[in-house]
Structure 1
Amino acid sequence: MIVYEYPFNERIRTLLRLEDLHEKFKFFVHQEHAMQHHVALSTIFDMLEVAGRADLKSDLLQELERQKQSLLSYRSNPNVASDALDAVLAELDSVSSRLVSAQGKTGQNVRDNEWLMSIRGRTIIPGGACEFDLPSYYAWQKRPAEQRYHDIMNWFTPLMPLFDALGLVLRLLRDSGRPLKMIAVAGSYQQMLQGKIYQMLRLTLDESLGAIPEISANKYMLWVRFTSHDGDCKPKPLEEDVPFELTLCNF
């Protein structure tokens, strides 16, 4: 099964982009080749670009507090597992505390590092981080993999509270929806949302079908059109029925 996600607003779009960058970072930073560590470092620069919104940290803190208050209301419900609820509340408190303790603007430690900023300025230029452009960076890439890993993780560590927070928010959002089995007749599916506000859509389908969803949505209507790749990887409309699972997520 393959899952496609579609954000309904800019805030969720930003969180999903940061989550995607974090997954890429975690993969490349644990490799050993200098080129792979170059990608990991470049990904940190991309994170700073996406996370540049001044209110992202406060948005996450407000959402975590809102989720905590919402979950506290379930404490008196006998149908709720108290151990599981207490575990989530403890995680909310821990993640919020670490995010509050993170000083300054997101990634300020990287922005204050002139050497890193010189690398960032050159990586924007295609091929701009060659050895003749940045000899000190070239020398750093020749260091042992373990030392490079240690350096990159030191630069990334101040960002971790932000990524712990957005990871928790997205997990709670994904868990808020209930998957429903649907059929896209002749490759097309429409649903009226009647003004109900959702944060994110999750669409799950069998990868072997070769179907690719093209999603558009607003607060009034959801539209999914399935396509497939031809030999040149050009999308072409699917005309057969496509079974899939649809989850509409909202806090």
Structure 2
Amino acid sequence: MPVAVYEFPLCEKVRNYLRLEQLFKQLDHTATFDNEFESLHFFDVFFTLLDLLERLDVRTDFIRDIDVHEKNLVHWSNHPNIDTGALESALKTLHRLLSELKRTNKLGSNLKDDRFLSSIRQRFSIPGGATSFDLPHLFCWLKQSKDVRNKDIASWEKHLVIVRENITLLMQYLRERGRYEEVVATNGFYQGIVTDKVDLIRVRCSNIQGYFPVLSGNKYRYGIRFMQLVPDEGSAGGVKSDIKFEIACC
């Protein structure tokens, strides 16, 4: 049965991590463009990513989270059944990322000095602003060989490698904290309790039954309401039947 995984962050930090993670996935999808219209989407995603990094202090969150994970791994090193090789590899990666973060000031700030990016970035914030008559130098670049374009893209993306690596690793650790268990939403509603260590709720359910989950709550408890994709006439859209699904608290 086709299933979908919905992720609901319970804190602003994880919300920002998920946004960055999705933008990197979009970036990967659009970086190997074959025509100019796909390339415009690449720059749109790229500049959105830069805007987000400029508004957030993710560097501080990265350093704090890596420090916590490092301490946890050191604690696990005393376990008799621990995989020593895997532990040493993980610690080496954490040490490297932490060292690179401490040598870096504002993440992605070096890209501000790129004359080409700076000359086109502002136009992308204007609806329909990225046209050939507004940005002839961009469309000249689009007509260059794929090797030339790929080399430029690689040079821009290398400034964000540290962000990508941190997001990938920290989200992996976060998701591994939770294990799925099957529960039932009675009349389409399920309620759970929030603990101090829960930052992310993952819901895995059918993707062909015409419903989707919506989460609401506070620092003490949360509720998941399943809604109809196409509401019945005169209905608020809530599912009235019992629904089995899987949930992981991370």
TM-score by length of 2: 0.91
The residue identity in structure 2 corresponding to 1:167 is T
Query: Is the partner of 2:172 in helix, strand or coil?
Result: helix
The residue identity in structure 2 corresponding to 1:113 is D
CA distance in 1, matches of 2:243, 2:231: 21
Alignment of 1:118-157 (within 5 A): 118-157=119-158
> In the alignment, is the contact (CA less than 8 A) between 2:231 and 2:237 conserved in 1?
no
Query: Is the partner of 1:52 in helix, strand or coil?
Result: helix
Q: CA deviation at 1:235?
A: 7.8
Deviation larger for 54-63 or 125-134: 54-63
Query: Is the partner of 1:208 in helix, strand or coil?
Result: coil
CA distance in 2, matches of 1:169, 1:7: 14
Work out the number of aligned pairs and report it. Answer: 246
Q: 1:155-190: per-residue Cα shift (whole Å, max 9, x none)? A: 111111111012101110100112111111111111
What 5-or-longer segments of structure 1 have no aligned partner? none
> In the alignment, is the contact (CA less than 8 A) between 2:111 and 2:159 conserved in 1?
no
Distance verdict in 2 for CA 1:63–1:196, change over 3 Å: closer
CA distance in 2, matches of 1:60, 1:177: 20
Structure-2 residue corresponding to 1:29? 31
The list of structure 1 runs, each at least 4 consecutive aligned residues, that deviate by more than 6 angstroms after superposition, is none
> In the alignment, is the contact (CA less than 8 A) between 2:210 and 2:230 conserved in 1?
no
CA distance in 2, matches of 1:120, 1:178: 42
Query: Is the partner of 1:130 in helix, strand or coil?
Result: coil
The residue identity in structure 1 corresponding to 2:241 is E
Distance verdict in 2 for CA 1:98–1:36, change over 3 Å: farther
Structure-2 residue corresponding to 1:107? 108
Q: CA deviation at 1:147?
A: 1.6
CA distance in 1, matches of 2:189, 2:16: 28
One of 46, 70, 79 as aligned partner of 1:44: 46
> In the alignment, is the contact (CA less than 8 A) between 1:19 and 1:163 conserved in 2?
yes
Q: CA deviation at 1:39?
A: 1.4
Query: Is the partner of 2:184 in helix, strand or coil?
Result: strand
Query: Is the partner of 2:132 in helix, strand or coil?
Result: coil
> In the alignment, is the contact (CA less than 8 A) between 1:180 and 1:247 conserved in 2?
yes
Structure-1 residue corresponding to 2:118? 117
CA distance in 1, matches of 2:179, 2:160: 32
* Identical positions, percent: 30
Structure-2 residue corresponding to 1:64? 66
Distance verdict in 2 for CA 1:87–1:217, change over 3 Å: farther
CA distance in 1, matches of 2:240, 2:10: 27
Alignment of 1:86-235 (within 5 A): 86-101=88-103, 103-193=104-194, 196-230=196-230
CA distance in 1, matches of 2:236, 2:141: 43
> In the alignment, is the contact (CA less than 8 A) between 1:7 and 1:200 conserved in 2?
yes
CA distance in 2, matches of 1:126, 1:197: 42
Distance verdict in 2 for CA 1:76–1:197, change over 3 Å: closer
Distance verdict in 2 for CA 1:235–1:228, change over 3 Å: farther
The residue identity in structure 2 corresponding to 1:240 is S
Q: CA deviation at 1:113?
A: 2.2
Query: Is the partner of 2:59 in helix, strand or coil?
Result: helix
The residue identity in structure 1 corresponding to 2:29 is F
Q: 1:66-101: per-residue Cα shift (whole Å, max 9, x none)? A: 101111111111133323322322222233334344
CA distance in 2, matches of 1:124, 1:7: 28
Query: Is the partner of 2:166 in helix, strand or coil?
Result: helix
Alignment of 1:233-244 (within 5 A): 236-244=237-245
The residue identity in structure 2 corresponding to 1:68 is E
